[in-house]
Amino acid sequence: MHTSRLFAVGGVIVGVIGLFMTALRTDGQGTLVALNAANPAFPDGIPTIWGGLATWAQIVLVILILAVLVLALRPDRSQKFSQTDGAITAVIGVALLAYAVVKWMEAGDEAETLAGAFGQAFAGGFIPEAYSVGTGIGFLVLIVGTVLVAAGGIIGMQSDSA
């Protein structure tokens, strides 16, 4: 398989792994079910990145992932992408990268909101400490995957002549 196609397929695999990692990280995750029962404003758990996406976004994401896989795995896999296939793959990779960064920034806002809620619950004596909340490592993994997809497309678009 040509390097450009390997990058694209590898990027899809890495990106999918990132999608199924948690969106936020906190030591207070175990308290969320009880806090949600007392106050429904609290989430009942921390979703994966995938679980935090709207249904329309999940559908579009699956279509784009399948498009990259179809382009990368069709014959002749030992050849680099055609100019058109490389451009399509690169555009998909960049679009997915932009969306991943937007979702990462939204998760940062959600982390701040949840940390503030933990602070209020601590002040009210409902939990033993005001847990900190941050974005999960899954976003970094997801971003690496999208960069690999885009790189595969860019490598495939490059001319063989030096």
pLDDT confidence band for 162 (50 / 70 / 90): very low
The set of residues, in sequence order, having a beta carbon less than 8 Å from that of 14 and lying 6+ positions away, is 141, 144, 145, 148
Return the residue matching tokens 């058109």.
Answer: 84
DSSP code of residue 135: E
Specify the pLDDT at position 144: 97
Mean pLDDT over residues 50-72, rounded?
Answer: 95
Mean pLDDT over residues 11-19, rounded?
Answer: 97
Name the average pLDDT for the chain. 92
Residue 122: how many other CB atoms lie within 10 Å: 15
pTM of the model: 0.88
pLDDT tens digit sequence for 84-140: 999 999 999 999 999 999 999 999 999 999 999 999 999 989 899 999 999 999 999
Q: Contact at 8 Å (CB) between 16 and 145?
A: yes
| Angle, CA of 59, 62 and 63, to the nearest 5° | 85
Residue 124: how many other CB atoms lie within 10 Å: 10
Query: Domain spans of the chain?
Result: 3-157
Distance, CA of 94 to CA of 149 (rounded, Å): 8
